[in-house]
Structure 1
Amino acid sequence: MTFSSRLRVIFRSKASRTLDRLEDPRETLDDSYEQLVRMLQDVRVGLADVATAKKRIELQGQEMGARHKRLADQAQEALNQGREDLARTALERRSLLEGQVVSLRDQYSTLARQQAQLQDNERRLAERVTAFRTEKETIKASYAASEAQVRANEAAAGLGSQMSDVGLNLDRAKDRIAQMQARAAATDDLLASGTLNDLTAPPDADLERQLAGGATSAQVERQLQAMKDAGPSGARGTAGSRDAGPDAWLSIGQGPQGH
């Protein structure tokens, strides 16, 4: 595998892992759950605001009711004192106040309906959030289990991004070993031929290697001539005498034995 091919495989592996993280359904579910929780919080804030406004109107209506009763009492007291003009003024203010109470009561009824609707929405949304949280955790657990199973199966089958990295490392190691072996063999040939000089070898080591090679060649020629002089029967007898016995190997390379 070439260097560029390895780079492409590594890039695809890294990109695949990045996309897997970006497309993780667990993160998507968590984001959706957080959105639902924020919606529920917004509904509860709106419900609190409506309830506060409704309570304010209720208190204002109670004050108006107390004033409405007080004006009726003042009108009656004015008539008892013979002050018809004051009684008329009290009754006029009481009538004006009744119109304000009607408007305030309409606002109170509207807020009461909004509060009831928000309470119903809050209850249903809270139930939905609870159900979604349960389902979310179930799905996340199932996804985690499936992911672990996939990783285990890929590891057992030698697949997956990590195993691909292991395979790439193994291929690179084999390439390096092959390169070093070829280089070692080439330098051995160059040293043997004298093209390269071994700086760590003793002086005249190249002459010694060449003399040793010549001595080996001379020994082979002498053995070959001896076998020719002895003839076929003599060569077989000599070889048989050397091969006899379990310790015959000890005499290998020591030349002919005397009889």
Structure 2
Amino acid sequence: MTSISHRIAALFRTKANKALDRAEDPRELLDYSYVQQLQMLQRVRRGVADVATSRKRVELQVNQLQQSTGRLQGQAQQALAAGREDLAREALIRRTAVASQITDLEGQRASLRDEEEKLTLAAQRLEAKVDAFRTRKETIKATYTAAEAQTSITEAVTGIGGEMGDVGVAVQRAQDKTEHLQARAGALDELLASGALEDGTLSAGRDDIQAELETATAGQDVETEMARMKAQLASSSQAAVEGGEPAKRGESPKDPPDQEATS
């Protein structure tokens, strides 16, 4: 059961990776990485500024304490001149304490200066890397955009792309439909020429009276032809009668009378 769960999880990870590969744009990833590096550089610079501010504050404290030591030294001399050794001793004790603070602050200032130099160097190196990454980023983005445009043009020319493929299918369908209509028009023309179909434009205006007139005219044509044939037959019979009836079967025609005997 565990192996099945692992296989299902692996399948989902594979599908998710494929979906992410299709969805992600490397140019957006490069821009996001560049923004992250800029933010990191900004944090380093703020760190340098914070360390420099702390160092400057320590230096101000050192200057104030040094001024305090000078003042205490003068007070001790004045008290000793006035015969107040106790006051002179107290001023010198305070001056010693202030000098000890100055020593501690000088150590802190040196440490902060070293930290500031390290952070400044790191910021400079990081800034150089960010600038180099920005240049490479723009180069990669330009190359990717050019490759994407070239791919789109090639797909458009070859018809591999989805949109151009749809256009090709639409053109093929239009061509098939045009050929079908042309074939249908040719077949109808042949049927009209052969008389299998009638021209609807000629019969569109005909009514019942026109149909009866055409029927009557057709009947008259038939009667006229019958009369002509009968007349032709009668003429043939009359010509035969005038030319003499033919001799009966088996008899020879009589000799004409002798003219001499008659005379």
Category of TM-score, reference length = shorter chain: 0.5 to 0.7
| Aligned equivalents of 2:52, 2:206: Cα separation in 1 | 106
| Aligned equivalents of 1:107, 1:183: Cα separation in 2 | 101
2:156 maps to which residue? Answer: 155
Residue identity matched to 2:167: V
Task: Report the secondary structure of 2:113's partner residue.
Answer: helix
Q: Sequence identity, in percent? A: 50
Larger radius of gyration: 2
Change (3 A) 1:160 1:84: same
**1:61-120, CA deviations, whole angstroms, 9 ceiling, x for partnerless residues?**
101011011111211221122110110110121122123223322321221121011101
Change (3 A) 1:182 1:96: farther
1:75 maps to which residue? Answer: 76
| Aligned equivalents of 1:33, 1:92: Cα separation in 2 | 58
Residue identity matched to 1:87: A
Residue identity matched to 1:169: A
Task: Report the secondary structure of 1:82's partner residue.
Answer: coil
| Aligned equivalents of 1:183, 1:91: Cα separation in 2 | 124
1:112 maps to which residue? Answer: 113
Residue identity matched to 2:155: E
1:85 maps to which residue? Answer: 86
Task: Report the secondary structure of 2:80's partner residue.
Answer: helix
Residue identity matched to 2:97: L
**1:8-28, CA deviations, whole angstroms, 9 ceiling, x for partnerless residues?**
xxxxxxxxxx97773221111
1:100 maps to which residue? Answer: 101
| Aligned equivalents of 2:56, 2:77: Cα separation in 1 | 32
Post-superposition offset of 1:204: 5.1
Change (3 A) 1:155 1:71: same
1:142 aligned onto 2:143: yes
Listed as ranges, the gaps of 5+ residues in structure 1 are 1-17, 185-191, 194-200, 216-259
**1:24-51, CA deviations, whole angstroms, 9 ceiling, x for partnerless residues?**
2111111111111111111111111111
1:187 maps to which residue? Answer: none
| Aligned equivalents of 1:56, 1:155: Cα separation in 2 | 67
1:133 aligned onto 2:134: yes
Post-superposition offset of 1:176: 7.0
Change (3 A) 1:70 1:177: same
Change (3 A) 1:149 1:80: same
What TM-score do the two structures reach when normalised by structure 1?
0.59
Residue identity matched to 1:113: D
Listed as ranges, the gaps of 5+ residues in structure 2 are 1-18, 186-195, 198-203, 219-263
1:226 maps to which residue? Answer: none
Change (3 A) 1:153 1:84: same
Post-superposition offset of 1:203: 6.4
1:61 aligned onto 2:99: no
Task: Report the secondary structure of 2:151's partner residue.
Answer: helix
2:8 maps to which residue? Answer: none
| Aligned equivalents of 2:129, 2:144: Cα separation in 1 | 22
For 1:177-256, what aligned pairs fall within 5 Å after superposition? 202=205
Change (3 A) 1:93 1:176: farther
Residue identity matched to 2:55: K
Change (3 A) 1:81 1:170: same
| Aligned equivalents of 2:135, 2:66: Cα separation in 1 | 50
After the TM superposition, which of the residue ranges 21-30 and 69-78 deviates more from structure 2?
21-30
1:28 aligned onto 2:29: yes
| Aligned equivalents of 1:82, 1:168: Cα separation in 2 | 116
Change (3 A) 1:20 1:148: farther
